[in-house]
């Protein structure tokens, strides 16, 4: 029997920022599986569903539950915040399928969501309106040396940068460490910013200089933005020009 598991990006948090497609699919599901923090955001809206959560670092188990439930014939969705294909569960679901459920008739479908870089950028103005890079500072799954190389490459190539996972309890100094690596390429006055709890209660928006950013303590629910060399502050917002006025 063919069954389909939906891998759904729910956007940054509030239902308003979820796509119609994502909402429509979640409404049709029997089981919604995810990390508890995200399920809590959904629970009120989709009260009739079976919710299954596994803690952080139990991602493989979470994926396997999806396949097991789908094999029972249930309609299953696994949810991620933002987009499921950006530091989300989409790739792991494909890998688990290949490794453990290759012979099953289960099909995987990824439903896009607004990732934090995009929803956060909108809060700040237009910081990513030219070429940009997204880099995660989490070294749980990526060696720090590789993260360092990517920071240097992005800063030296003058990309605007969105930093995910800028901090956690164990990595509270990582943003400072990252700024120190990039300061060779980025002047102290470069406009930067961050947004905490995008699309959720307690949203906090900050525009600051690169020098100030280095000293900021941000948490794991924050996305950090570093402008490129053309980024400026207009009307208290962070704006990276496309360059339309260059020849006027
Ligand atoms: N799949 C998610 C990213 C997961 S990685 C997405 O596409 O958005 C987790 C990191 O994403 C966090 O540490 C933070 O940097 C960022 N993030 C996710 N949701 C956020 C939110 N609502 N507000 C601010 N940052 C968020």
Model pLDDT, residue 103: 93
CA of 222 to the centre of ligand 1 (A): 7
Closest residue CA from atom 12 of ligand 1:
165
Confidence of residue 49 (pLDDT cuts 50, 70, 90): confident
Helical pair 144-156 and 174-182, crossing angle rounded to 10 deg = 40
- Tens of pLDDT, residues 224-242: 999 999 999 999 999 999 9
Query: Does residue 67 sit in the same domain as residue 135?
Result: no
Taking the centre of ligand 1 as the mean of its atom positions, its distance from the CA of residue 188, in whole angstroms, is 26
Pocket of ligand 1 (CB under 6 A): 12-13, 80-83, 86-88, 115-116, 120, 164-166, 195-200, 220-223
Residue ranges making up the domain that contains 231: 117-239
pLDDT at 33: 94
- Spell out the residues 6+ positions from residue 200 whose beta carbon is closer than 8 angstroms to its own: 12, 13, 14, 41, 221
Per DSSP bridges, beta strands 125-126 and 132-136 are: unpaired
Mean pLDDT over 198-215 rounds to: 96
Nearest-CA residue for atom 15 of ligand 1: 164
Residues 221 and 156 in one domain: yes
Predicted confidence (pLDDT) at residue 206 exceeds the cutoff of 80 = yes
Tens of pLDDT along 54-78? 777 788 999 999 999 999 999 999 9
Mutation to probe ligand 1, out of 11, 34, 81 (largest number of atoms < 8 A from CB) = 81
Residues 27 and 101 placed together within one structural domain of the fold? yes
For ligand 1, atom 18, the nearest C-alpha belongs to: 116
Structural domain count of the chain: 2
Question: Atom of ligand 1 at shortest distance to CA of 200?
Answer: 22
- The predicted pLDDT at position 243 comes to 84
Strands 50-53, 204-209: pairing is unpaired
Mutate to test the pocket of ligand 1, among 82, 139, 198 (most ligand atoms within 8 A of CB): 82
Question: Which pLDDT score is estimated for 161?
Answer: 98
Is position 212 within any domain? yes
d(CA 111, CA 22): 6
Question: What number is the average pLDDT over the span 13-41?
Answer: 90
Indicate if 49 and 133 belong to the same structural domain.
Answer: no
One domain for residues 142 and 223:
yes
Q: Is residue 165 part of a domain?
A: yes
Local confidence band at 246 (pLDDT 50, 70, 90 cut-offs): low
What separation in angstroms does the CA of 61 have from each of 22, 83, 144? Answer: 23, 20, 26
CA of 226 to the centre of ligand 1 (A): 16
In a domain, 245, yes or no: no
- pLDDT above 80 for 1: no
Mean pLDDT value of segment 16-25: 94
The alpha carbon of 88 and the centre of ligand 1 are apart by a number of angstroms equal to 10
Mean pLDDT, the chain, integer: 93
Share of the chain above pLDDT 90, in %: 80
Give the pLDDT band (50/70/90) at residue 172: confident
Q: Is 244 within the bounds of a domain? A: no
Where residue 214 falls among pLDDT bands split at 50, 70, 90? very high
Domain boundary among 97, 114, 131: 114
Both 15 and 98 in one domain: the answer is yes
Q: Is the domain of 127 the same as that of 228?
A: yes
- What CATH number did the domain enclosing 97 receive? 3.40.1010.10
Average pLDDT over residues 148-160: 98
Q: Is 149 left (phi over 0), alpha (psi -120 to 50) or beta?
A: alpha
- Categorize the per-residue pLDDT at 157 as very low, low, confident or very high, splitting at 50, 70 and 90: very high
Distance CA 166, CA 62 (A): 25
């Amino acid at each position: 029997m063919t069954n389909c598991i939906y891998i759904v990006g729910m956007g940054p948090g509030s239902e308003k920022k979820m796509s119609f497609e994502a909402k429509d699919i979640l409404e049709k599901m029997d089981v919604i599986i995810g990390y508890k923090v995200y399920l809590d955001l959904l629970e009120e809206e989709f009260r009739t569903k079976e919710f299954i959560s596994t803690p952080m670092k139990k991602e493989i188990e979470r994926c396997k539950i999806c396949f097991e439930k789908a094999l029972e014939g249930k309609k299953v969705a696994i949810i991620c915040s933002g987009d499921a294909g950006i530091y989300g569960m989409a790739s792991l679901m494909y890998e688990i399928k290949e490794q453990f459920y290759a012979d099953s008739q289960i099909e995987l479908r990824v439903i896009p969501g607004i990732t934090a870089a995009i929803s956060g950028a909108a809060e700040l103005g237009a910081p990513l309106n030219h070429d940009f890079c997204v880099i995660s500072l989490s070294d749980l799954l990526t060696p720090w040396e590789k993260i360092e190389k990517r920071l240097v490459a992005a800063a030296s190539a003058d990309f605007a940068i969105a930093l995910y996972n800028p901090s956690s309890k164990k990595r509270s100094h990582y943003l400072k460490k990252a700024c120190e690596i990039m300061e060779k390429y980025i002047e102290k006055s470069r406009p930067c910013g961050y947004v905490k709890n995008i699309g959720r209660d307690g949203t906090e928006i900050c525009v600051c200089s690169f020098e100030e950013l280095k000293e900021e303590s941000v948490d794991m629910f924050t996305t950090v933005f570093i402008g490129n060399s053309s980024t400026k502050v207009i009307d208290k917002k962070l704006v990276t020009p496309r360059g339309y006025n260059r020849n006027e």
